[in-house]
Amino acid sequence: MEWYDVGVYGYVAVILGKVFLPDVDGHIQNLFSLGVFAVTFIARPLGGVILGQLGDRLGRKEVLAYTLLMMAAATFLIGVLPTYAAAGVIAPILLIALKLVQGFSTGGEYAGATTFITEYAPDKKRGFYASLLDWGSYMGFAAGAAVVSVLQLTLSEDFMQSWGWRFPFMAALPLGLIALYFRTHIEDTPAFVEAQSEQGEDSQEDEGASPRSGSVGDIEAAIQATDEGPKGLKALIVTYRRELATAFVLVAAANTVAYALTSYMPTYLTTTLHYDAVHGNLLTLPVLVLLAFCVPVAGWISDRVGRRAILFTGAGTAVVLAVPAFMLMAHGAIWSTLLGLAMLALPVALYVGNQASSLPALFPTSSRYGAMGIAYNAAVAIFGGTAGFIMEALVTATGSALAPAFWVIATSVAGFIAVTQMPESARQPLPGSMPSVASEEEAIELVETQEDNPDLDVAEMFAQAPVHLLDQEPTAEEARAEVEVALAAEQEVREELARAQRATQAAREAVVAAEQREREQGEERDDAEDEA
């Protein structure tokens, strides 16, 4: 739903500028439309914080249903807004207000959806399964773009500007209700349900315990008497500041080039390269469909060669191909424009095909939704949402059609550096979760190889503090926060090891039982043969 709206809005941005701000220059109208698009993202961090915290407490399923309902309703209402000619200045104000509602709802959408999928996915196939989320996102964008393109081909320009632009927005309501039906009929993730049940058991066992006050030892005792539930905003930022910063920079790099290709490109092709509205829209459509199907391929490859390798390649290709891509588009021929768009699509596929599986692996189960909501939405608000506005402003200020390429390069250089700070997460369990398998055979193999499995780093699981806090003197507040994390992690690992030992014992008993059945069946066959 989010990307359907992005596709629709990006393709009618030029029309919306004329509808809601008709009495100004065309460049100002374009900046207004792109500025309203950017304003949407102001509310995303707030939505990410509030909805992320709720998702860590109430469940992924419940919050995701609310976000979808808000998004569908706000998108539909945009389609029935009065124009500037009918309502004056109140019309663009209402447009901005509804885009803010959309931004708030989507603040919990991507973080929640990625958390949901990655917690369900098997460890060895997490990259592929998580990438299907972004495949759906780009197919939603392509669907929105296709709807607008069909309307532009079948309706006159005057009718499109007066009424035609409304239809794609109004279609969001029935589509959203259908999606809501399916979303409310799925179960919450096993990882979240298990974490919630363990927290509930710990709370019952430790109820009535009163901590002493004073020394670090007293704090340790207090922490041992409490459960490791979802963290508040301040504690979450203090504890995971390095991980949040890494996720922020990577998301900023990925979304700068992604939004350049999607939401900004129709405006760029029509206003800067002077394509007519229909051709400017249609040229991007096949590239978007191709991009959508390349995303799960990138996720599938990352399950085999690792997330970091694919992300490094994505950042590197964005830096190397940005200028040639915009040069080809500026050439003006259909073939060169398509090739330039395809060159931009390559790093987008590599970025987003691994983003959904890499980012959740930075945070433990109890705080994953909230942390993802903060990092992802802050980055998208500051860089993704403003990408089109900044690029159009650069073109206007410099007069160069190549100006957007240098903004892509700058953010992807930062993204390359961020990848160096990310741990490899391919084929490994998510922090705070037991290993996830796709079959009984894989489970037996995991149990039999758990002692020397390179993807199960027991030493790292027992680490007493994050590495980035060991090379500096912590403040008292940071030290207390790390004591809390370390003790909770130790308890979590002990519980996981106990569960693993029980699983090992159960597997061994199953093997013994199977061997016994085979012996009995063999004896029965021998007896039958002797009697015969």
Mind spelling out the 3-state secondary structure of 7-54?
HHHHHCHHHHHHHHCCCCCHHHHHHHHHHHHHHHCCHHHHHHHHHHHH
What gap in Å lies between CA 348 and CA 345, rounded to an integer? 5
* pLDDT-above-70 percentage for the chain: 79
Does the pLDDT value for residue 76 go beyond 60? yes
**In Å, what is the CA distance from 110 to each residue of 33, 101, 144?**
24, 15, 18
Amino acid at 423: P
More confident: 198 or 18:
18
Per residue in 398-446, pLDDT tens? 999 999 999 999 999 999 999 999 989 888 887 766 666 666 676 666 6
Does the pLDDT value for residue 304 go beyond 80? yes
- pLDDT value for 245: 94
Amino acid at 208: G
What gap in Å lies between CA 375 and CA 248, rounded to an integer? 5
Distance from the Cα of residue 117 to its chain's centroid:
10
What gap in Å lies between CA 261 and CA 529, rounded to an integer? 73
Least confident of 177-186, 236-245, 317-326: 177-186
* pLDDT-above-90 percentage for the chain: 28
Region 498-523 average pLDDT: 84
Region 12-20 average pLDDT: 87
- pLDDT value for 204: 52
Helix (H) or strand (E) holding 499: helix 476-531
Confidence grade of residue 465 (pLDDT, cut at 50, 70, 90): very low
Please give the model's pTM, rounded to 2 decimal places.
0.69
Exposure string of 509-524, with b = 16+ CB inside 10 Å and e = fewer, is eeeeeeeeeeeeeeee
Region 192-211 average pLDDT: 51
Least confident of 106-115, 166-175, 419-428: 106-115
CB burial class (10 A; 0-12, 13-18, 19+) of residue 215? exposed
Q: Which of 175, 153, 184, 257 is nearest to 5 (CA)?
A: 175
What gap in Å lies between CA 313 and CA 319, rounded to an integer? 10
**In Å, what is the CA distance from 410 to each residue of 256, 312, 315, 383, 421?**
10, 15, 10, 12, 18
Confidence grade of residue 58 (pLDDT, cut at 50, 70, 90): low
Least confident of 58-62, 110-114, 371-375, 462-466: 462-466
What gap in Å lies between CA 195 and CA 492, rounded to an integer? 10
Confidence grade of residue 186 (pLDDT, cut at 50, 70, 90): low
- pLDDT value for 225: 38
- pLDDT value for 217: 42
What gap in Å lies between CA 158 and CA 179, rounded to an integer? 33
CA pseudo-torsion sign 346, 348, 353, 359: positive
- pLDDT value for 253: 96
Does the pLDDT value for residue 251 go beyond 90? yes
Average pLDDT over the chain, rounded to an integer: 80
More confident: 216 or 325:
325
Does the pLDDT value for residue 213 go beyond 60? no
What gap in Å lies between CA 1 and CA 68, rounded to an integer? 7
- pLDDT value for 212: 40
Region 390-397 average pLDDT: 91
Q: Which of 298, 433, 303 is nearest to 368 (CA)?
A: 433
More confident: 326 or 201:
326
Q: DSSP strand E in 250-335: where?
A: none
* DSSP character string of 243-258: HHHHHHHHHHHHHHHH
- pLDDT value for 223: 35
Residue pair 176/196 in contact by the 8 Å Cβ criterion: no
- pLDDT value for 210: 44
Does the pLDDT value for residue 464 go beyond 60? no
More confident: 113 or 460:
113
Confidence grade of residue 215 (pLDDT, cut at 50, 70, 90): very low
Distance from the Cα of residue 141 to its chain's centroid:
15
Structure tokens at 239: 């504890």
Dihedral of CA atoms 196, 201, 207, 209 in degrees, nearest 10, equals: -100
Q: Which of 210, 205, 208 is nearest to 221 (CA)?
A: 210
What gap in Å lies between CA 269 and CA 283, rounded to an integer? 9
What gap in Å lies between CA 94 and CA 91, rounded to an integer? 5
- pLDDT value for 400: 92
More confident: 215 or 50:
50
Q: Which domains does the chain show, CATH number per domain?
A: 2-189+230-420 (1.20.1250.20), 447-531 (no CATH)
What gap in Å lies between CA 171 and CA 419, rounded to an integer? 39
What gap in Å lies between CA 161 and CA 19, rounded to an integer? 7
Residue pair 175/71 in contact by the 8 Å Cβ criterion: no
What gap in Å lies between CA 319 and CA 343, rounded to an integer? 11
What gap in Å lies between CA 15 and CA 157, rounded to an integer? 10
Confidence grade of residue 459 (pLDDT, cut at 50, 70, 90): very low
Least confident of 31-40, 189-198, 376-385: 189-198
- pLDDT value for 462: 43
